[in-house]
Structure 1
Amino acid sequence: MSSEIAPHIWLPEPKLAFHPDRVSDRHVHPLRGLLNFGPHSAGLVPTPIRVATLAPATEGNRLYEFMRELNAAFKPSERRDYLPEWPGFQRVFGLHMRGAGTGCHIELEPQFESEFLESEKPHITLADRLLRAIQSLEGRRNEFDVLFIYLPQRWAKGFNSFNDEDFDLHDHLKAATAARRLPIQVVREDRALSYPCRASVMWRIGLALYVKAGGVPWKLADVDSDTAYIGISYAVRPPASDLPRFVTCCSQVFDADGSGLEFVAYDAHEVDIQRENPFLSRAEMFRVMTRSLDLYRRRHAGKSPRRVMVHKTTEFKEDEIDGAMEALHLCEAVDLVQVIEDTNWRGIRIESGGQGKKKGMPAAFPVSRGTLIGLSGREALLWTHGNVQGIKENGSYFQGSRSTPRPIRLVRHAGHGPWDGTANAVLALSKMNWNNDGLYDPLPVTLGYAKVLARVVKRMPGLGSAPYQFRFFM
């Protein structure tokens, strides 16, 4: 048996589209694309975006000042090789944002501070008080679009529990407000108000605000048409919960444009646990795939996709494969792909010589993002993290600028053919996180979103049958 691996190929950096019709409005850099062309959904989001606020006593003005910053210009003081200047919210997105009307701005009572300090369970005290304040705004829901919630650092001991409770304040608030179809933006003092690089903060919050108000900043420019991309993640409720312990959370069903604004989630009853990982029965997998396919058809005038690609982080068991194939029998091609983030593989670039570079020496930059090595017809290595050309005005760009990037391992449990199409879809979907100002994420958004959704959904008391919009969970 040979110890050699297959030659590698390189997939170019996927482009993003910033207009539904003009093919010229494309760019590999999401933020520069926004600056050059504006958002994909330009003109479709009502202006102005109206922001309600919730803050500690006497500190509502800190949120007002923060909102004014969103309309100002800032030069980056970090990630200068990637982050462009923030020119103001209106310049980027083409619409205004302002504070909502009187009655949409709440400050907690001064006595809450002493109640919080004296509480034996400060996380419960804080969460309950914030939720009561949020409930008081429900009568004015038609007067604002997004709610900003300011959390000062002195409340940090209420952000998580420090015992066996599975509690996270951010996820707890999202679970409660998502059920009310109310988009919120948590504004922490340490991560937003006091963070030194104001351009970085404005890009992150500005993007989030636009999406939570219903906007689409960009879509994928070049992926296979008539293909649906589905991500599956599982959530586990605490043992003390009287609700079903396992929740199957299916992330957005992304179409060929990378557009997936809704997702389905439901309680799973037929679950087999192996090595702490849940696996679905044939009937449960059939159920989740059928609901996912229905979601795609609803957005495409009843038409089924020609091809479906399903991602999850654990292997596909035989029952899961059978259930998926039964549900997707009308599709011409079905790919069931396990995406493994934690691998032992590493790779370094070696100079080939020329232009003053000594042949055989390690290169100054790591393996290029988009490098693909097929290990077999069933497995391949893909570098979703690595060196990228065309981001800086000249030279290479390595996001994070540290460590040796490791590839993700793709394991195909169903499907066949070259790895190029499968890997290119994963690479493109790694650029579809609208809740991040970076060039890409390590994982495709099918799995990145699914993890976020699962974390929040398991805290919701009831799931219902209607699809959810992801903007309520961001």
Structure 2
Amino acid sequence: MTDLSLFELRPPPLQFGGAASTSDPKSGLDSAGPFDLRFGAARKDAIHVGVIGPADMVDSAQKWLTRCDAGIPSFGPATSLRRPFPGFSEVYRKKLIYSAHLSIALTEANSDPIELALSVTDAFVRFQNIIDLYDVALQRLAGRDVNRPDVVLVCLPQSVLDKCRTVERQNTEAERERAKAIRKARASRQTDFFDLLDEVEESEDDFLKRDLRHALKARALAARLPIQIVTPRLLEDGPKSEDPATRAWNFSVGLYYKAGGVPWRLSPPGPETCFVGISFHHYRTKQRHIVQSSLAQAFSSEGEGFAIRGTGVPAEADQRLNVHLSEDQAYDLGMRIIAEYGARTGRSPLRLVIHKTSQFDQAEIRGFRAALGDIPIVSLVTMVPSAFRLVRFGMYPPKVGTICTVNGARTFVYTSGYIPEIETYPGPHIPQPFEVRSIGPEDPLAAATDIFNLTRMNWNTADIRGKWPVTLSFARRVGGILNEYGEMDPDETSFRYFV
């Protein structure tokens, strides 16, 4: 006989600048302002916004900023899902400062370097020309002693998106043979010409696939200047765009965070906790295919986020999704987590929770336990998308935050489903729960609660419909940015450079 136990978590209460506590970011920001209002005199009173792009998009972006500052009404009656945007200064209690002095137009009356860059036939060369064009402008803004922006809007016209969003090619037969020879030489531990080739640092031309957003973010990371990608869908009203007020809410939260602000945070969950998400991403060049481990995200209880890259794991032919760290790699990654956390907070956490979408094997468990031995509470949590389903009486699926245990042995949590705050289920399909498996002193219910709470900690949007916890939601993007950055670890690890 199957024994089912159901439990519904309350929506996680978020903290804002005032006394209000609500699970809806829009409502909290509107009524109580951003959390960092509590910082008092340590908080800046303005955000300086730079703009890079074609002259017409620079002008449109500045008009959009003016529109956001003035406030934008909702289309039709205001609802929980479509809420009017009161205005940037009204919501965040900061001024937006932007002008021609903070902007660089890439097109002029008699010259259009973007059109020239796009006219190149070779897709990889065309891609690199666009990256270099924007990078030069970004370096000019980053190198200023005065009028240096806090965040930069990088405006990409539709022509650039159409021709350079991604580029990809296959290895030639000669390159495949050379890569095969390198793998054989490494396997036999022979030191020969092919091994020497493998030690040469790859250039951009060596990548088999590149992504425009990742490449631009990597250049911004090197310049230590956060950027926000702007496309025509943000600036233009039309059938392909969300309503203006919704766009303004989501845009403003991302802009505020990237400029150094703290929009909201979770209510203190108990012991000071570091939440970590570990993922693996592919690193492919002409000569190598490595599944590179990346510490995609780590967050303190206060919401401070940072990203760290782990060591590489060579890809095997039959590896598929079953990727694991060695004991030494897990130990090294655990030590780096604690070191970075301590450098940012001045202390070690009392509790550390690691999220992964694959099972922890024995080598990983030993490595993490050895590195994190001084942390009082350590939980290793696996989240697996499941075929398990619950059917709720009525027209809606289970509420977000619903937890189901089966025979006291298996635990499932719904992070998508009916959302009480917006009084509907916004998804097109039957929601899929995660199965939660936990190794450590805490039970799966505590692990499921953390997962649900962390779905509300995406500071790149005001939308509460996120399915993944923030520890894992940007994993692929972070890995792609670090690939483009190069083999050296970046000097800056703050998460606002990666979102």
- 1:53-452 counterparts in 2 under 5 A? 53-77=51-75, 80-100=79-99, 102=101, 104-108=103-107, 109-121=111-123, 122-140=126-144, 142-143=146-147, 144-155=149-160, 156-161=162-167, 163-164=169-170, 165-194=208-237, 195=241, 197-240=243-286, 245-257=290-302, 259-268=303-312, 274-302=319-347, 304-341=348-385, 343-350=386-393, 363-375=394-406, 379-389=410-420, 391-392=421-422, 396-398=423-425, 400-412=426-438, 414-452=439-477
Does the 8 A contact of 2:118 with 2:163 survive in 1? Answer: no
- State the alpha-carbon separation in 1 of the partners of residues 93 and 139 from structure 2: 32
Structure 2: which 5+ residue stretches go unaligned?
A: 171-207
- State the alpha-carbon separation in 2 of the partners of residues 141 and 149 from structure 1: 21
- State the alpha-carbon separation in 2 of the partners of residues 141 and 174 from structure 1: 22
Deviation string 1:250-286 (CA, Å, 9 cap, x unpaired) is 13432233x1222322433578783244311000000
Does the 8 A contact of 1:316 with 1:338 survive in 2? Answer: yes
Alpha-carbon distance, 1:232 to partner: 0.7
| Alignment-mate amino acid for residue 122 of structure 2 | E
Structure 1 stretches of 4+ with a deviation exceeding 6 A read: 270-273
Does the 8 A contact of 1:253 with 1:295 survive in 2? Answer: no
Alpha-carbon distance, 1:290 to partner: 1.1
Counting matched residue pairs gives 447
Alpha-carbon distance, 1:59 to partner: 4.3
| Alignment-mate amino acid for residue 228 of structure 2 | Q
Does the 8 A contact of 2:293 with 2:311 survive in 1? Answer: yes
| Alignment-mate amino acid for residue 253 of structure 1 | A
Does the 8 A contact of 2:353 with 2:379 survive in 1? Answer: yes
Q: Which residue matches 2:4?
A: 6
Q: Superposition RMSD on alpha carbons, in Å? A: 2.5
- State the alpha-carbon separation in 2 of the partners of residues 198 and 426 from structure 1: 31
Does the 8 A contact of 1:266 with 1:464 survive in 2? Answer: no
Alpha-carbon distance, 1:100 to partner: 4.5
Deviation string 1:150-187 (CA, Å, 9 cap, x unpaired) is 11212222111254431111111001111221111111
Q: Tell me if 1:50 matches 2:75.
A: no
Does the 8 A contact of 2:299 with 2:306 survive in 1? Answer: no
Overall identity of the aligned pairs, in %: 25
Give the 3-state SS of the residue equivalent to 2:167 in structure 1. Answer: coil
Deviation string 1:313-334 (CA, Å, 9 cap, x unpaired) is 1111110011011111122332
After superposition, the Cα gap between the structure-2 partners of 1:225 and 1:124, relative to the gap in structure 1 and judged at 3 Å, is: same
After superposition, the Cα gap between the structure-2 partners of 1:279 and 1:115, relative to the gap in structure 1 and judged at 3 Å, is: same
Structure 1: which 5+ residue stretches go unaligned?
A: 351-362
- 1:8-47 counterparts in 2 under 5 A? 8-19=6-17, 24-42=19-37, 43=40, 44-47=42-45
Give the 3-state SS of the residue equivalent to 2:369 in structure 1. Answer: helix
Deviation string 1:187-234 (CA, Å, 9 cap, x unpaired) is 101344343511111111111111111000000014232232111112
| Alignment-mate amino acid for residue 85 of structure 2 | W
| Alignment-mate amino acid for residue 322 of structure 1 | R
After superposition, the Cα gap between the structure-2 partners of 1:378 and 1:90, relative to the gap in structure 1 and judged at 3 Å, is: same
- State the alpha-carbon separation in 2 of the partners of residues 435 and 441 from structure 1: 11
Alpha-carbon distance, 1:416 to partner: 4.3
Deviation string 1:334-382 (CA, Å, 9 cap, x unpaired) is 21111113x21221102xxxxxxxxxxxx12211111111236663110
Question: Greater share of helix residues, 1 or 2?
Answer: 2
Alpha-carbon distance, 1:118 to partner: 4.3
Give the 3-state SS of the residue equivalent to 2:209 in structure 1. Answer: coil
| Alignment-mate amino acid for residue 233 of structure 2 | D
After superposition, the Cα gap between the structure-2 partners of 1:442 and 1:141, relative to the gap in structure 1 and judged at 3 Å, is: farther
Alpha-carbon distance, 1:409 to partner: 1.2
Normalised to the residue count of structure 1, the TM-score between the two structures is 0.87
Does the 8 A contact of 2:83 with 2:246 survive in 1? Answer: no
Alpha-carbon distance, 1:470 to partner: 0.9
Give the 3-state SS of the residue equivalent to 2:484 in structure 1. Answer: coil
Q: Which residue matches 1:353?
A: none
Alpha-carbon distance, 1:45 to partner: 4.1
